[in-house]
Structure 1
Amino acid sequence: MTKFNIKRASIIVFACGLLTACSNENSSDNSNKAILDTVSLSNKNFALAYQDGNKIVATSIDTMKQISFGGATDPAISPDGNKLAYTVNDTAGHRTIWVADMENKSQLQLRVNNDNYYQAVWSPTGNSIAFNIFSDAKLWKIGIIKTDNTGFVILDSKSPVNIYAPTWKSETELIGHDLVNLYTFNVSGKLIDTKPISSLIGKNFSIASSNRFFYSKDGKKLIFNAGNADVLDGLIGPSEAIYCVDLASKKVERLTPKGMQVSYIFVTADDRIFYSGAEKPFTQSKIYVSNLKGNAKLVVDRGTNPTGTLK
């Protein structure tokens, strides 16, 4: 196991008592407090990970325990809440993914013989991690590796197509897109399905490489964030919102309100939608959790890029 390099990131563990002390001494400063909703989060030790400025935070509702990583991005909490994957950017411009065990504080780097891979996504069981990787062919592809650092494979490595924003459809299938088509792969790297995005969601949306698509647990719905025609004061480019399409009827429902800019979405394997949204462009982004009907709860009053555990 690789030892953690203090130059790459720092770990601060906030016990319950320290959180209470910070709250009492600085009652007007909420920067060190996670304001969580007991209905929407599990009772595991760690239930949510998110970005807070230049650090990432994993936090719990039951113990009010936090782990904070400086110098890291793209937090991805494992489905069981015990591990955290994250991206480290070094001074040479390299991006690599590390995995931390949040109980014993051990860390390891995912070894894929590459210096530009980022944004980990855990499989539903937590046994594998997918990510975007810049291949030797100078194309963006999806990489997969088991959490014990074995079984690395690049999906559809021979095609001349960039694939962005990987997510898991099931433990054995993943999806990604090239702005035009939605692709489904099996874990051995074979392309098994291609669908034009417009045939699934219609032609009223603009798709960026950062937009992600998630299948619902039953496979009957597709949840995604995308650009729309809303005009928000001060925003250059499309406003983004979260939508859910019924794949049988093709009916698309908007899940986030007009006026909110939503640039990040994460859907758990049990169909909870975590997202970060700002009520006005360039204002403080907050973290919410929603069901497939759009019923949302505020979970953190300052943060971006959330991921959540299973219940």
Structure 2
Amino acid sequence: MKFNIQLAFILIAGTVLTGCSNQQSATGDSKAVLDTVSLSSKNYALAYQDGEKIVATSIDTMKQISFGGATDPAISPDGNKLAYTLSDSAGHRSIWIADMENKSQGQLVVNNNNYYQAVWSADGNTIAFNIFNKQNLWKIGIIKADNSGYVMLDSASKINVYAPTWKNEREIIGQDLTNLYTFDLSGKVTDTKPIAGLIGKDLTIASSNRFFYTKDGKKLVFNAGNNDVLDGLTGPSEAVYVLDLASKKVVRLSPKGINVPYVFVTADDRIFYSGAEKPFTNPKIYITDLDGNNKIVVDKGTNPTGALK
């Protein structure tokens, strides 16, 4: 079975160039279509989901490139590559990388049919992701962007580990709803922290909630469920918070009245998140800093990731 991936390059000025690239996969049939590319230098600052397509854009949104049929956008720190998830009709998921300079796409091959949601290391050389192993457990995988050096972290334990992020270029963190774990790149658990002891009992964590260490390692940025009652919202409300590890103080960064199911923090401590206000049908993308200075950057979108400045 194959992924049949067609690339159509349309210059915004009106000149049309077309091409195609067929990549092999054992997981099923799917499609990701690159449909627009700007005339200016292909160095992008932000990638996000817009309905059934992924958009990569400059921070001022003046230049854009989009992919149809893909999810889980992850822009590389240099802004030149985009990792994303493809799903087939059987529910299999795999991660692919598009080089936005030479217009090529290729699959990360880890001999598995359910791995998704890539997260780049700060140097852009390695990707972490969630992977479903043969024991029906969620684990964290890491692999080089050139498809070498694959490792499944904590592969022998009997716990699920969700939502990987990079603490630094040598360590990765993930959570199992109860504890926050730190792994080295060999897969060894080097630190375990009870989540309730970090964030208190008034906030709740789901498997999709991610924790990010700040660049200095002294704070954690995360999104979590809270006790806010938002009229018209189905399900619990979530917000973005920052925890000072020394003082144990938790401060809310996103404004009240906005439900925030997704947050991403760059290695230079810029915080992107998607959130919606009442009637909760038009999510927007925001950027904030560690002091809670919020600004809307995209009027419609979800699941943002950012490149380094």
Q: TM-score with structure 1 length normalisation? A: 0.88
Give the match for residue 65 of structure 1.
63
Out of 122, 128, 131, the residue aligned to residue 129 of structure 2 is 131
Q: Which sections of structure 1, spanning at least 5 residues, go unmatched?
A: 18-42
Out of 9, 13, 19, the residue aligned to residue 32 of structure 2 is 9
Provide the alpha-carbon RMSD of the alignment. Answer: 1.8
AA of the residue aligned to 1:224: F
Contact 2:43-2:78 within 8 A present in 1 as well: no
Q: Which structure is higher in RCO with an 8 Å CA cutoff and minimum separation 6?
A: 1
Contact 1:261-1:281 within 8 A present in 2 as well: no
Once residues 126 and 43 of structure 2 are traced to their aligned partners in structure 1, the CA distance between those partners, rounded to angstroms, is 21
Give the match for residue 45 of structure 1.
43
Out of 74, 81, 94, the residue aligned to residue 96 of structure 1 is 94
Once residues 264 and 61 of structure 2 are traced to their aligned partners in structure 1, the CA distance between those partners, rounded to angstroms, is 24
Out of 168, 179, 190, the residue aligned to residue 181 of structure 1 is 179
Aligned residues: 285
Contact 2:122-2:267 within 8 A present in 1 as well: yes
Contact 1:49-1:76 within 8 A present in 2 as well: yes
Deviations 1:32-68 (A, max 9, x none): xxxxxxxxxxx97211000000000001247932111
* Structure 1 pair 3–205 and aligned structure 2 pair: CA distance change class (3 A): closer
Secondary structure of 2:168's aligned partner: coil
Once residues 277 and 220 of structure 2 are traced to their aligned partners in structure 1, the CA distance between those partners, rounded to angstroms, is 24
* Structure 1 pair 302–187 and aligned structure 2 pair: CA distance change class (3 A): same
Runs of 4+ aligned residues of structure 1 deviating over 3 Å after TM superposition are: none
Of all paired residues, the percent bearing the same amino acid is 73
Out of 82, 85, 88, the residue aligned to residue 87 of structure 1 is 85
Contact 1:120-1:129 within 8 A present in 2 as well: yes
Once residues 196 and 281 of structure 1 are traced to their aligned partners in structure 2, the CA distance between those partners, rounded to angstroms, is 35
Q: CA deviation at 1:201?
A: 1.2
Once residues 138 and 61 of structure 1 are traced to their aligned partners in structure 2, the CA distance between those partners, rounded to angstroms, is 40
Q: Does 1:74 align with 2:81?
A: no
Give the match for residue 300 of structure 2.
302
Give the match for residue 279 of structure 1.
277
AA of the residue aligned to 1:5: I
Q: TM-score with structure 2 length normalisation? A: 0.89
- Between structures 1 and 2, the one with greater strand share: 2
* Structure 1 pair 276–142 and aligned structure 2 pair: CA distance change class (3 A): same
Secondary structure of 1:262's aligned partner: strand
